Structure 1
Amino acid sequence: MATVQTLDKIRESLEKHLGKRILLKANKGRKQIVTKRGVLEKVYPSVFVVRIEDGRNDDSRISYSYSDLLTSNVKLRVFKNSEPEDKNLKVS
């Protein structure tokens, strides 16, 4: 079982990446994996919020709990400023 300290460490590590571009892969169950690009927007005590970049002017946001990261239901990859994006990556 995850301890409060473990979840706090995850939150603290995400706080270091606020405002950075990320690649998010979420397991929605039944072999459905959603991949999105976005910006880590906010970090709260129980959840974090990602603003999705979908090419439109819509401002869509998704929130996940830190336990989603701990259980690998959600995976994040932080882009470095100088890192080029992989154009062959399919984003849905």
Structure 2
Amino acid sequence: MVQKNSLADIRASVENYVGRKVRLKANKGRKKTVVKEGVIENAYPSIFVVKINGGYDTIRRVSYSYSDILTETIEVTICDEEQKIKIS
């Protein structure tokens, strides 16, 4: 589990999991949360991109900033066969 130290620490931990399957729990406001599964496709200096299978043979790419993790707007859980690791 990653401590809430800084954006640089969060960015480094997300970069380590590029290509891995993740579960995103996004807070959409007014008590609405959305849970999606996808793959971290790429990590850039200020954002990271998650590729989500949208159903009906469609693929969506959603970008989030590292500050979304810091402010707990989204919750990222790495889905590994052996264990689940939460980035926050």
| TM-score calculated relative to the size of structure 2 | 0.82
* Structure index of larger Rg: 1
Within-5 A mapping of 1:63-74: 63-74=63-74
CA deviation map 1:51-91 (0-9, x unaligned): 002333212011111010001110010011x249xxxxxxx
Within-5 A mapping of 1:1-92: 6-80=6-80, 82-83=81-82
SS in 2 for 1:54: strand
Gap regions ≥5 residues in structure 1: 85-92
The letter of the residue matching 2:39 is V
- Say if 1:50 and 1:62, in contact at 8 Å, map to a contact too: yes
| TM-score calculated relative to the size of structure 1 | 0.79
How well do the aligned residues superpose, as a CA RMSD in angstroms?
A: 1.7
User: For the residues of structure 2 that align with 1:65 and 1:15, how far apart are their CA atoms?
Assistant: 13
The letter of the residue matching 1:44 is Y
- Say if 1:39 and 1:53, in contact at 8 Å, map to a contact too: no
